[in-house]
Structure formats: C-alpha cells, structure tokens
Amino acid sequence: MDDLDNRSDPGGARVDTGDRAQRARAGSLYVVATPLGNLRDVTLRAVDILASVDRIGAEDTRVTAKLLARLGIARRPTAIHAHNEAGKAARVVEWLARGDSVALVTDAGTPGLSDPGARIVRAVREAGHPVVPVPGPSALAAAVSAAGLAAPRFVFVGFPPTSPKALRELLGALGATGMALVFYEAPHRVRETVAAIATVLDPGRTLVVARELTKMHESIASMPLGAAGAWFAGDPDRERGEFVLLVDEPAETPRASGVSADALAWMDALAAELAPSRAARIVAERTGAPRDLLYAHAVARGKPERR
C-alpha cells in the first residue's frame, strides 16, 4: 500500500496528506474549490493553500477578494476569466517557471466545471508543471447527492445551448441514452430551458430543481417534468438564484421499452412534414411510445429541426 503521508502526484509535486497545516510548493498550480454560498464549506486545506501561494487567479477578483478578506488572507487576486483565459495561460506558465506557486479559483465551486480553468490547467500540464487539485464544494456533487436519482448513471451537460435548435438536438441525442441528465442554468433562462426540455423528453420523467445550494434561500424540489411550467408560475421567487436541473431516467428505460414499427413509421411520415419535436409529441400521444426515442430516431435519420 502507498505511504499515505508521502505521496507524489504524476506531475512531480509531493502531496502532503497529513493533518498539519500545508504550504503551497514552488512552481505548482493549485486548483482550489471555494464555497458555493456557505463560507463554512471551505476546506482547511483550501485555506492553507490560499494563504500560502504567491499568486491567486480568480474569475471575478471582487468576489474572491471578499472571500479572502473573510478568511483573513491578505492576497490581491489576478483576473482570469472566460474572456482572457487563453491569454492568461501563458502568463501563469511564466509564473510557475520562475518558481511562483499559483492558486486558481472561480466565483464559487470547482474551477473547470462549467467555469473557467480548463485552458489554464491544460497549458500548465503541457508545460510540465505540477497541477494539484484541492477538492471541495461543487454544485454538481451537491445537487446529485440530494436529488435521490433512480438512475445509476448521469450525464453532466453543464450550461445548455442557447439556440433552441441546438438544444432540441442535444436533448434528442441524450434522452435516448436513458441516463439522468444534469444541467446548470441561469435564472433568466431557467423557465425557457425547462419548457424546451419538456417538449423533447418524456413529460413523465422526474425533474429535480436545486436552487441556491448552500445559501439562505436554498430549495430542492421534485416534480414530473410536464408539471414544471406550472410550478415555476406558482411563485416568482422560484425563478431566482442559480440552478441545477436534474432530469431522472425514464420510468421505462429505452432498452426495456422499445418503439414499435408502426410508431416509427408514423414518426417518419410526420417528420417529413413537421419539426421532429412536434412530430415526436404527436406520435407519443397517439401510440404511447417514448417521446425521447422518437425524437432521437428522427434526428438520427437526418430530419432537420425547423424553427
């Protein structure tokens, strides 16, 4: 077995797994998870690293500066966000090459998980410098842990496409897998996105809406996908905050349910005249076949989604 107190990561950085305070090592990049909302979710190791690195790269320096101040850490972060990440990657590599230690953080949660960070990490690894994960809060992990999904597997989609056509095509492909689907979404788009999901996927699938995780107004609610529109309309506060949307597996998985030859024939005929999403809805209503599979069948046959 490994010596748990003397491990090294593949990039060559010694990883101290003891219970004493840890200091950042020269020339290493630390990918540090920060609280989603509740400050007490920050890990002891994250505090050690943020307090001892030479530089901190942050998605929003104002947000990170407030966190650092609350933790009593006197560091001035440098902006590294989606719009400058490609250019900043070379700068981070330069810092590491001259022996500086660097922490990478986002506004909340884990860098590189639908947040900036992946380009920086890739550039640093390609340059041969150690990349050390400092795990902790993650909206994805928090939502899945509290959702009680029936599906044994899930697909993390992240933020869905804003184009209605691209979203429908993506949902058609993913819906046919039978796995749970997990999305991030912003408040100004959440109702539109849920409505789009309900037009493509089986409305009987369970939707879990996780909102403002770990914050004062945290809520986690589950409902049939087809009832989500009415649920959001019932209270304007339900559209506020940051969202994780989880669509559980179909009541009958695609492998078990299948689609009859007659249903597929109707789907082919209607998709020649109608948008696949509308054709799938009509055929599903008439035959009971899973809407997800009908839509995926049309997309696989090259039927375009009309606007």
Secondary structure (DSSP) of the chain = ---TTSEE-TTS-EE--SSS---PPTT-EEEE-B-SS-GGGS-HHHHHHHHH-SEEEESSHHHHHHHHHHHT-----EE--TTTHHHHHHHHHHHHHTT--EEEE-SSB-TTSSSTTHHHHHHHHHTT--EEEE----HHHHHHHHH--S-S-EEEEESPPSSHHHHHHHHHHHHTT-SEEEEEE-TTTHHHHHHHHHHHS-TTSEEEEEESTTSTT-EEEEEEGGGHHHHHHT-GGGG-S-EEEEEPPPSS-HHHH---HHHHHHHHHHHTTS-HHHHHHHHHHHH---HHHHHHHHHHTT-----
Q: What is the pLDDT of residue 203?
A: 84
Q: What is the pLDDT of residue 4?
A: 40
Q: What is the pLDDT of residue 6?
A: 43
For the chain, 307 residues long, give each residue's pLDDT as a single digit of tens.
343 444 444 445 555 666 788 999 999 999 999 999 999 999 999 999 999 999 999 999 999 999 999 999 998 999 998 888 888 899 999 999 999 999 999 999 999 998 888 999 999 999 999 999 999 999 999 999 999 999 999 999 999 999 988 998 899 889 878 899 999 999 999 999 999 999 888 888 999 999 999 999 999 999 999 899 999 999 999 999 999 999 999 875 444 456 787 788 788 888 888 888 888 889 888 888 888 888 877 776 666 665 5
pTM: 0.78
Task: Give me the domains of the chain, ranges plus CATH numbers.
Answer: 7-137 (3.40.1010.10), 140-254 (3.30.950.10), 258-300 (no CATH)
Q: What is the pLDDT of residue 17?
A: 61
Q: What is the pLDDT of residue 287?
A: 87
Q: What is the pLDDT of residue 114?
A: 86
Q: What is the pLDDT of residue 5?
A: 41
